Chain A
Amino acid sequence: MAEKSFNLRIITPDRIFYEGEAEMVEFNTTEGQVGILPGHIPLTVIIKPGILNIHEAEGNKVAALHAGFAEILPEGVTILAEIIEWPEEINEERAEAAKERAEDRLRSRTPETDIARAETALQRAIARIQVLK
């Protein structure tokens, strides 16, 4: 075990969302939940809506991460996030409403329903609500 922490950068199109040393970072990808520790092999993954969990030396930080991709290198991780929110930026009522809407759409599915879109919306809403808890 060489390094204890690695450099984590989370960049969105209009700001640098997070930059710092992390011991582990967890998030959801198209291939399932992953947890990245220092010294990981080079890997690029596509992000699916879920919770981002940053383990720092002093504690944990969570955020709702919705879309983007991550570039993992042994010395650090860069997450290019299209949409990401800290818990304090989330409106709980809106997330609940969005969850219900998406569930409705999936229940009463008609041939015109865009199922993939409704499912993504549902996953987003669930991620937002979970981050708040």
Chain B
Amino acid sequence: MASMRDIKRRKSSIQGTQQITKAMKLVSTVKLQRARSNAERSKSYFNCMYDTVNSILKRVGHIEHKYLVPGQSQKKAVIVITSNRGLAGGYNSNVVKLITRHPDWKKEDLVIYPIGSKGHDAFVRNGYEVAECENSIVEAPAYVDAMALSKRLLQSFADGEIGEIYLAYTAFKNTVSHIPTLLRLLPISCEEPEEQAPKAEAIMNFEPEDVEALNLIVPKYITSLIYGALVESVASENGARMQAMDNATSNAEEMISDLSLKYNRARQGSITQELTEIIAGAEALG
């Protein structure tokens, strides 16, 4: 049996760790609340944006447009949003796994645009082609950052360097469920022409004409998707960290109670032994 001193030392070190994880949990709870209200506030913008782009696409679905067909290049650009800090459970590795374990994707065809140093490090380690991005964006996502990134990507798309653009992030459903998501940004998928039986709505007109409107709206659409993904990822990151720290705290609790039991048993044992020794000594004298 371990000595009393060893057990005591072990226990106090676990108690120290528990205090840290408890504090980290509280911090990420506060951050989560802020990030979540941010994500909720921006939601209406994206829903509106999505509806508008969809209605445009429904109208112009059959035209040849550069944003609706894949580019010449085989290369796929993937924006990967992770965090700069660890200790968030599977948050970062789940997003990275979306790409490394993708059944149809080959390493050589991908260019990774990592936002967040954890993702960046993981892709460099695995030997992917990585384009440098600003990691500090995830600390406080701003719309201008998303704008700069989408401009850069659309430029490479226009120059024919990349043929498709994807976005990998963690969607924030609620505090306990965060879903790693892979989304195709370009070419815009023209799916679900689900006929809403009798079309009550009047036909939307565009000024300027459809194609030109598409040219102007698509970059805004992509920017808003990137921004939305950033905001949601930040919320998910804090949610994931909160959960991970909560688990760590309760694990520490369990270990401490286990060690307390062992400590008491060891103390009892040493008292019994001492008593036996005293009695034995007294008998020997008598």
Chains A and B form a bound pair: yes
- Which chain A residues have a beta carbon within 8 Å of chain B's beta carbons? 11-16, 29-31, 41-46, 67-69, 71, 74, 78, 80, 82
Chain A residue nearest to B52 (CB atoms) is A71
Shortest beta-carbon distance, A25 to chain B, in Å?
16
Q: Which residues of A contact B44 (CB under 8 A)?
A: 11, 16
Chain B residue nearest to A45 (CB atoms) is B207
Q: Which of B85-93, B105-113, B198-206 contacts A (4 or more CB under 8 A)?
A: B198-206
Shortest beta-carbon distance, A3 to chain B, in Å?
16
Q: Report the tally of A-B residue pairs with Cβ distances under 8 A.
A: 67
Chain B residue nearest to A71 (CB atoms) is B52
B193 at interface, CB cutoff 8 A = no
B38 at interface, CB cutoff 8 A = yes
**Closest A-B pairs by Cβ, 6 of them:** A42-B204, A13-B143, A11-B45, A43-B205, A46-B216, A45-B207
CB-contact partner of B220 in A12, A16, A71, A82, under 8 A: A82
Chain A residue nearest to B143 (CB atoms) is A13
Q: Which residues of B contact A12 (CB under 8 A)?
A: 45
- Contact assessment for A31 and B208 in the assembled complex, using a CB-CB cutoff below 8 Å: yes
How many residues of B are counted as interface, with CB atoms below 8 angstroms from the partner's CB atoms?
26
Give the distance in Å from the alpha carbon of A80 to the alpha carbon of B216 in the complex: 13
B247 at interface, CB cutoff 8 A = no
27 A-B residue pairs with CB within 8 Å = A11-B48, A13-B143, A13-B227, A14-B41, A15-B41, A16-B41, A29-B207, A30-B216, A31-B207, A42-B204, A43-B204, A44-B204, A44-B205, A44-B206, A44-B207, A44-B213, A67-B220, A68-B220, A69-B52, A71-B52, A78-B48, A80-B48, A80-B49, A80-B52, A82-B147, A82-B220, A82-B223
Tell me whether A14 and B143 are in contact in the complex, defined as CB-CB below 8 angstroms, given that A46-B213, A46-B216, A71-B52 are known contacts.
yes
- Which chain B residues have a beta carbon within 8 Å of chain A's beta carbons? 38, 41-42, 44-45, 48-49, 52, 56, 143, 147, 201-208, 213, 216-217, 220, 223-224, 227
Give the distance in Å from the alpha carbon of A44 to the alpha carbon of B227 in the complex: 23
Chain A residue nearest to B206 (CB atoms) is A44
Give the distance in Å from the alpha carbon of A46 to the alpha carbon of B143 in the complex: 19
- Contact assessment for B42 and A13 in the assembled complex, using a CB-CB cutoff below 8 Å: yes
Q: Which residues of B contact A45 (CB under 8 A)?
A: 206-207
Shortest beta-carbon distance, A110 to chain B, in Å?
21
Q: Tell which of A13, A15, A16, A30 has the most Cβ of chain B within 10 Å.
A: A13
Tell me whether A74 and B143 are in contact in the complex, defined as CB-CB below 8 angstroms, given that A13-B227, A46-B208 are known contacts.
no
- Contact assessment for B206 and A13 in the assembled complex, using a CB-CB cutoff below 8 Å: no
CB-contact partner of A42 in B42, B203, B217, B227, under 8 A: B203
